[in-house]
């Protein structure tokens, strides 16, 4: 199945992110400590949360590839969402830790300007993360993976954080050491913000929230299918990248089973053409308004 093939390809992006974050976080934490830069250390801790998040994505992609079984008739596609939920809690804890340490630094400043090397490390990290972002974005578009796309946007935000870190370090070097600590505060808030956003998206998915715009788009397409008189019910839910759609439509009650079945097939083709990762369940009902009057057998009333 194409969906499972794409999930396997998506692992490449997760592995690339994990390897990059391990290297960059090690360098940032080491140089940040040696070069006395709170901002670079905060950026390094940010990357450690990214390692955990990327591992969660990888685990989710692996579990999501397990086919349906007796206990999981819809498959294991939501494992990816559960992993994201766990990662959001870990990111939140690390973000709060960075925030607390930064606040302590405001009250107990070191008075030592960070090393120029820390700024170069931040700039180099921004360049590397931008390259990883471009790769994962292209991969997500190729395999149509929401998880890899989210990872790509996380890569991009990390590149922006590193740029902000470099700016803060340069400000501290040129006589404003408090800017380095303020930048660390900004990084902490960004980690917390990202954690909350990932948490909210995961909760929305796990509680069967569905994109309103997609509902409107698919509803219009279904109504335009030949033979459909009215779309009276539409329900949708997401399991990872897979969407399960339940629709109820009315048709001419004088159609036979074969003709009604043809309409359901046309609806399925229309929806999957718009979104190839959709499974559609169609329920057919007769349009009561056009049922002709019943023929009454007068002889039976005599």
Fold that domain 2-206 belongs to in CATH: Alpha-lytic protease prodomain-like (1.20.1510)
Domain limits, CATH 1.20.1510, in the chain: 2-206
178 vs 169: CA distance, rounded Å: 10
| CATH 3.30.70.1350 correct for 212-290 | yes
DSSP 260: H
pLDDT tens digits, 188-237: 888 788 888 888 888 888 888 888 888 888 999 999 999 999 999 999 88
What residues have CB less than 8 Å from 138, skipping those under 6 apart?
none
Q: Alpha-carbon dihedral of residues 91, 94, 100, 106, nearest 10 degrees? A: -90
Q: What is the mean pLDDT of residues 7-28?
A: 89
Nearest to 31, CA basis, from 135, 124, 137 = 124
Burial class (CB within 10 angstroms; exposed 0-12, middle 13-18, buried 19+) of 127: exposed
pLDDT higher than threshold 60 for residue 302: no
CB 202 within 8 A of CB 84: yes
Which tens digit of pLDDT belongs to each residue from 144-179? 776 777 778 788 878 888 888 888 888 888 877 777
Considering just the CA atoms, what is the radius of gyration of the chain in Å?
Answer: 27
pLDDT for 26 equals 94
The boundaries of every CATH 3.30.70.1350 domain in the chain are 212-290
Q: Answer yes or no: is pLDDT of 13 > 70.
A: yes
Average pLDDT, the chain: 83
Q: How many CA atoms lie within 13 A of 128 on its CB side?
A: 18
Within a 10 A sphere around the Cβ of 226, how many other Cβ atoms? 7
Of 234, 237, 242, 246, the C-alpha closest to 208 is 237
Highest averaged pLDDT of the listed ranges 7-21, 75-89, 277-291: 7-21
The pLDDT > 90 percentage for the chain reads: 24
């Amino acid at each position: 199945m194409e969906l499972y093939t794409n999930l396997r390809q998506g692992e490449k992006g997760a592995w690339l992110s994990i390897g990059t974050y391990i290297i960059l976080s090690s360098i940032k934490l080491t140089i940040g400590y040696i070069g006395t830069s709170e901002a670079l250390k905060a950026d390094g801790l940010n990357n450690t949360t990214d390692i955990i998040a990327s591992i969660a994505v990888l685990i989710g992609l692996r579990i999501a590839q397990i086919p349906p079984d007796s206990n999981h008739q819809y498959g294991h596609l939501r494992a990816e969402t559960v992993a994201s939920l766990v990662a959001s809690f870990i990111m939140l804890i690390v973000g709060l830790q960075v925030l607390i340490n930064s606040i302590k630094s405001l009250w107990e400043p070191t008075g030592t300007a960070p090393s120029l090397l820390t700024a170069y490390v931040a700039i180099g990290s921004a360049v590397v993360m931008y390259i990883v972002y471009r790769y994962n974005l292209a991969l997500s578009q190729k395999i149509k993976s929401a998880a890899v796309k989210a990872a790509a946007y996380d890569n991009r935000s990390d590149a922006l954080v590193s740029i902000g870190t470099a700016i803060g370090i340069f400000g501290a070097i040129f006589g404003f050491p408090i800017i380095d600590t303020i930048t660390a505060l900004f990084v902490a808030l960004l980690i917390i913000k990202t954690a909350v956003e990932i948490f909210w998206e995961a909760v929305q998915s796990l509680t069967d929230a569905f994109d309103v715009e997609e509902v409107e788009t698919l509803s219009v397409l279904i109504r335009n299918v030949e033979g459909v008189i009215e779309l009276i019910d539409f329900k949708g839910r997401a399991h990872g990248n897979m969407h399960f759609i339940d629709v109820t439509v009315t048709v001419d009650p004088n159609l036979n089973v074969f003709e009604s079945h043809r309409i359901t097939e046309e609806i399925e083709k229309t929806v999957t053409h718009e979104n190839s990762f959709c499974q559609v369940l169609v329920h057919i009902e007769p349009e009561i308004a056009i049922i002709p009057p019943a023929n009454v057998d007068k002889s039976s009333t005599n």
